[in-house]
Amino acid sequence: MTLGTKWIYKIDVGPAEPLYFEEVSWPLGNKHAVYATRGRYFRAAGDEKRTSFSLEMKIKQPATKQGPLEYPRGVELEILKDELGIFGEARQLYWAVANSGRYMAHLVVMHSPEEPGAPTGPWGHWGSEDGYSVRLLFFGERPGVQIGLGKDPMDKLLLEGVVQHPSFSTRGPLLHFRRSVEPNTKIKESPGYLDSGFTEDVWFAKGKGLIRLEQKVEGKTSMVWTLVEN
């Protein structure tokens, strides 16, 4: 959360194709429409010979308001390089932290009402507000606790525990979480690859933050993030 802190990740993709899942809430008058979006990273699919990409990000500035949230601690992120398109056409990115009771850190992604897939009103996009998604990234609890946002979440985060992982070249204990995205069961006949469930194992190191992410689609490795500079 320190201003100016920068992370550079090397992202290796394959042998399976990496996927993403996001639930975006769009304000429509006095109501909200929530769209669950599944997709692929077209930059990876478009160049089959390329298997390595770079992601660079940093803490840009404090944020007392994080999109729809006003959590006690918040910062805005700046994406310096995103070769794979992890954050797509996001308008703004925030980390929002609540520390009353359970410590919880969220990623807030703001979306323009003019981006592809956004709903339109009777006047098209004119006067429409930004959409947003909120995803849990990190929380303080005992190992074995799993949390999801909303009434019937498709996206859940499990605290696996505190581990040592010498292959990451990082000394000291690491916090290990596993994100699980359920498959799309609404497609009864011939579901496609985009309907697959996937997991993301993530490891956090004290004083560094996220140092590694391993995504698997239906058990097959699809992408691995490795922190190369912090």
* H-helix or E-strand spanning residue 46: helix 42-46
pLDDT digits (tens, 9 = 90+) for 5-38: 999 999 999 899 999 999 998 887 677 788 888 9
Q: Looking up tokens 């990496």, which residue turns up?
A: 18
- What residues pair up with 135 in beta bridges, in sequence order? 107
Angle at 34 between CA 29 and CA 35, to 5 degrees: 125
pLDDT of residue 32: 77
CB 191 within 8 A of CB 197: no
Query: What is the spatial distance between Cα 135 and Cα 38, in angstroms, rounded to a whole number?
Result: 15
pLDDT digits (tens, 9 = 90+) for 82-97: 999 999 878 899 999 9
114: containing domain: 6-229
pLDDT of residue 12: 96
pLDDT digits (tens, 9 = 90+) for 135-170: 999 999 999 999 988 777 889 999 999 887 656 666
Between 60 and 116, residue with greater pLDDT: 60
CA 123 from centre of chain: 32
Query: What is the spatial distance between Cα 56 and Cα 46, in angstroms, rounded to a whole number?
Result: 21
Q: Is residue 182 part of a domain?
A: yes
Q: Is residue 1 part of a domain?
A: no
Q: Is residue 185 part of a domain?
A: yes
Q: Mean pLDDT, to the nearest integer, of 213-230? A: 94
Task: Examine the pLDDT at 77 and tell me if it is beyond 70.
Answer: yes
Q: Is residue 23 part of a domain?
A: yes
22-to-110, 126, 155 alpha-carbon distances in Å: 12, 24, 9
Quote the radius of gyration of the chain (alpha carbons, Å): 18
Q: Is residue 82 part of a domain?
A: yes
Q: How many domains does the chain have?
A: 1
pLDDT digits (tens, 9 = 90+) for 175-197: 999 999 999 887 767 778 999 99
pLDDT of residue 126: 46
